[in-house]
Structure 1
Amino acid sequence: MKKLSFFINTVLLSGTIAIASLPAQAALPRAVNDQALPSLAPMLEQVTPSVVLISVRGTHEVQQRVPEAFRFFFGNPRLGQQQERQFRGLGSGVIIDADKGYIVTNSHVIKDAEEIQITLKDGRQLEAKKIGGDEASDIALLQIDSDDLVEVKIADSDDLRVGDFAVAIGSPFGLGQTVTSGIVSALGRSGLNIENYEDFIQTDAAINSGNSGGALINLRGELIGINTAILGPNGGNVGIGFAIPSNMVKNLVNQIIEFGEVRRGVLGVAGRSVTSEIAKAMELNINQGAFVEQVTPDSAADEAGIRAGDVITKVNGKTVKTFNELRGKIGSIGAGKTVKITVIRKDGKEKVYKVTLKKSAAAKIEAASLHRMLDGAKLENNEQGNGIVVTDIAENSPAAAIGLRKGDVINGINRQRISNLGELRSYLNDHKGVFALNIRRNNSSLFLMIR
């Protein structure tokens, strides 16, 4: 446990401590020359109620090492026994929709959580349910049911500049809500191997353990990022913190709301960041960007006209400096979305392509994550927007046993219309008991029961 040190002006006399008193007139004035002193307090009073404390409880499996002399008696001599161990954890979150009770946080904050409790700034404690999450980008969406919630306004993180002021809000070390300030130290940070998709805002605002999932805001009180990691020895703050940009968060959350998960779009290129060596070897007149080494046949990039040897310099008009930054930006944009990709050709000419991102190979979900009786089915949203298509069924699976077939379209549950996977997941999370799936098969309609 860390010790907190408090420093005061003291004088030691005869073994006692005398605290030097300050004259009454030394109190700080609220104004100088009739001008109010600058303060973040008015803005923070409006924003801090949107930042919450998240407490989790759960169990996870740990491997117990077995002494060499006893390993003969276990099935696999190279492995120990798997045991379940209870854990508790703390983190932060941000209310982004007061009407629907949506809270965004980091995926690692609630990983393996069986109970999620939200503590609001006013002291109210509420149980939260997980709507969905994405470990690759470390974003998760929770929901609570309560009145009088306060949401934060989301800013356009693409408008950020290095040197802009930034304020971090969270609950470090479980001490309670804490505010720190600094500046935006860098943009587009990637290659840190913290997450699979990285496009971080770097800040020197103090971020410590427990701040994960909290808010990084600008001086207007708008959300510019979700605090996610720090770089420092033993988890301590050294003025290098990282936040997921708000635009990336917004793209991911919209997919989670619609599908119950992230459906990444795929550009279909492989490459590396431009370096001075690559620029010299390829006779390029630029030293930054994403160099395209290979274009996948029939991919979105191939169909749009992007070629190997191109250097991608912008996505939707925003500069891309590295290949990892390109991967992070594209990775947060959903399949089917159209983006503008700016490239520089070897001849130095700039071209802009409109590219419609294709579905990732992992776009189809295993339906067991929705309900155990759907195990063995693969589902995806109907492109026409009127239901969920069963794209595959495993033989002898629970999904096959209840009568699901490849090509079925689920368009309702318990007589309630269902348009997409997000609505189906939400309904199953909110209700218990027996469910009747309304299925459209060819030109007929039928109900299949699951419990």
Structure 2
Amino acid sequence: MKMKHSVLSAALLGAALSLTPVVSQAGIPAPQVQDGQTMPSLAPMLQKVTPAVVSVNVSGVQVSKQRVPDMFRFFFGPNAPQEQVQKRPFRGLGSGVIIDAKKGYIITNHHVIDNADDITVGLIDGREVPAKLIGSDANADVALLQIKAKNLTQITVADSDMLRVGDYAVAIGNPFGLGQTVTSGIVSALGRSGLGIEQLENFIQTDAAINSGNSGGALVNLRGELIGINTAIVAPSGGNVGIGFAIPINMVRNLANQIIEHGEVRRGVLGVSGRDLSPELAKGFGLDTKHGGFVGEVTPDSAAAKAGMKAGDIIVSINGKNIRSFTELAARIASLGAGAKVKLGIIRDGEKKTLNVTLGEASQVAEKGAAELHPMLAGAALKDGKGGVEITDVAPNSPAAVSDLQKGDVIVGINRKKIRSLNALRKALKDKQGAVALKVRRGDAYLFLVLR
């Protein structure tokens, strides 16, 4: 027993001696070698990639306003304030990824920079540089920053549509403000949706450890190519449990390009509503496939209608890439710009077909169309806005004006349910009976307006 222990100890000692780092002339540790073979390591890849991952520090003042009840204003006289204003300073920390070194473009999450007055980017070499917000998309949780600095390193971008479950993945970010940290794992699942994290969900799931502060950081493959932007975790105990989510880089890249070109996201619209293709539906239609989006309704004069799509069609692919659910379909379409041309693979009456579709412009409801959502919205022009449905105009003396809706208001909720898009507003108001309470963001304040 002692002899075996001694032999084992000697073997371990020999291994330790053979693994002693050798420093190259450049001052960088040379690859470790054992028995004449180079030991596998992520270090060479990370030496190239980590300079492209930055920390994002934000600060600002959270302003909230509450209406002072009439009874209190009565007690304090006619000069009593109608609103009580509270200001609370805040600081936050996240991560970001340099995607264009020449122009200084950095991708991060919208929730990292939301409401920030000052944004500072920390580079791996210790420099701290002020950043400018170019634009963001709250529904997809993507934001684009820009800095002015020399000697930046940009990351190489992969094709996230080529990912497979089981591919290795490496997460890089700044968790808990500890400084740059690297964790590794695999791609656990693709096309995750229905999580209630964002309005548009088509997540890469990974077991690479992601924690607070990792948001906006890089998820890369073993070649050091960017495959996703780390966004959220499932953390019932408050810490990492091996279930993290990243936004696919193809989706991020489409949105970033729109922000760069237009200063905002001009979302493409297909014009269909539906549901995931369930096993029951697949069996009822006599289909072999169990993945796709079932089209329940096609909006008249929409991009889908013009392309010849019909209710009952089953969408199974976009531009030759299979889709897993209707939610994934919606997220992929929404990340494409208005006017984008796409090929949709569908199944109709058991036969496979391809439809060429030119996506319409982002959802916008004119004054006449608003009345179809609710009679008391008549006279309001609506469109998808930042974090909700923006009211772009209100006709004088219209029902919308009587309801106290104003130009610039953003509808963010209905009867305590969050609303982030016109499509969600349409669904929430469908077949609603009686009074409806709208939660509206007006400037920095929130108020409830009742539609009767």
Q: TM-score if structure 1 supplies the norm length?
A: 0.72
Paired position in structure 2 for 1:35: 37
Paired position in structure 2 for 1:209: 212
After superposition, where does 1:24-423 map in structure 2 within 5 Å? Answer: 26=16, 29=19, 30-62=32-64, 81-346=84-349, 348-362=350-364
Quick one: structure 1 residues 25 and 318, their matched pair in 2 at CA, closer, same or farther if it must change by over 3 Å?
closer
Q: Does structure 1 retain, via aligned residues, the 8 Å contact 2:95–2:173?
A: yes
SS class of match (1:207): coil
Quote the offset at 1:193 in angstroms: 1.0
Amino acid at match of 1:168: A
Distance 1:363 1:104 in 2: 31
Distance 1:316 1:363 in 2: 29
Quote the offset at 1:321 in angstroms: 1.2
Quote the offset at 1:169 in angstroms: 0.2
Deviation string 1:292-346 (CA, Å, 9 cap, x unpaired) is: 0000111111111111001000001111111100001001000001001000112
Quote the offset at 1:217 in angstroms: 0.3
Quick one: structure 1 residues 73 and 210, their matched pair in 2 at CA, closer, same or farther if it must change by over 3 Å?
farther
SS class of match (2:154): coil
SS class of match (2:103): coil
Distance 1:338 1:363 in 2: 23
For structure 1, which segment, 286-295 or 247-256, has the greater mean C-alpha deviation from structure 2 after superposition?
A: 286-295
Quick one: structure 1 residues 97 and 81, their matched pair in 2 at CA, closer, same or farther if it must change by over 3 Å?
same
Quote the offset at 1:172 in angstroms: 0.1
Quote the offset at 1:362 in angstroms: 4.3
Q: Does structure 2 retain, via aligned residues, the 8 Å contact 1:92–1:212?
A: yes
Amino acid at match of 1:221: G
Amino acid at match of 2:46: L
Q: Does structure 2 retain, via aligned residues, the 8 Å contact 1:203–1:239?
A: yes
Distance 1:32 1:63 in 2: 66
Quote the offset at 1:66 in angstroms: 9.1
What is the Cα-based RMSD across aligned positions, in Å?
A: 2.9
Amino acid at match of 1:231: V
Distance 1:299 1:25 in 2: 68
Quote the offset at 1:215 in angstroms: 0.2
Distance 2:105 2:199 in 1: 24
Quick one: structure 1 residues 147 and 81, their matched pair in 2 at CA, closer, same or farther if it must change by over 3 Å?
same
Distance 1:90 1:184 in 2: 26
Q: Does structure 1 retain, via aligned residues, the 8 Å contact 2:49–2:155?
A: yes
Q: Does structure 1 retain, via aligned residues, the 8 Å contact 2:219–2:230?
A: yes
Q: Does structure 1 retain, via aligned residues, the 8 Å contact 2:364–2:382?
A: no
SS class of match (1:83): strand
Q: Does structure 2 retain, via aligned residues, the 8 Å contact 1:263–1:363?
A: no
SS class of match (2:212): coil
SS class of match (2:117): strand
Deviation string 1:126-177 (CA, Å, 9 cap, x unpaired) is: 0000000000000000000011000001100001000000000000000000
Distance 1:355 1:26 in 2: 62
Question: How many residues align structurally?
Answer: 346
Listed as ranges, the gaps of 5+ residues in structure 2 are: 1-11, 20-31, 367-380, 384-391, 397-452
Quick one: structure 1 residues 34 and 113, their matched pair in 2 at CA, closer, same or farther if it must change by over 3 Å?
same
Quick one: structure 1 residues 71 and 177, their matched pair in 2 at CA, closer, same or farther if it must change by over 3 Å?
farther
Deviation string 1:389-422 (CA, Å, 9 cap, x unpaired) is: xxx99999xxxxxxxxxxxxxxxxxxxxxxxxxx
Q: Does structure 2 retain, via aligned residues, the 8 Å contact 1:208–1:235?
A: no
Amino acid at match of 2:247: I
Distance 1:362 1:103 in 2: 30
Deviation string 1:229-250 (CA, Å, 9 cap, x unpaired) is: 0011244110000000010011
SS class of match (1:148): coil
Quote the offset at 1:282 in angstroms: 3.8
Distance 2:154 2:173 in 1: 15
Deviation string 1:375-394 (CA, Å, 9 cap, x unpaired) is: xx999xxxxxxxxxxxx999
Q: Does structure 2 retain, via aligned residues, the 8 Å contact 1:211–1:227?
A: yes
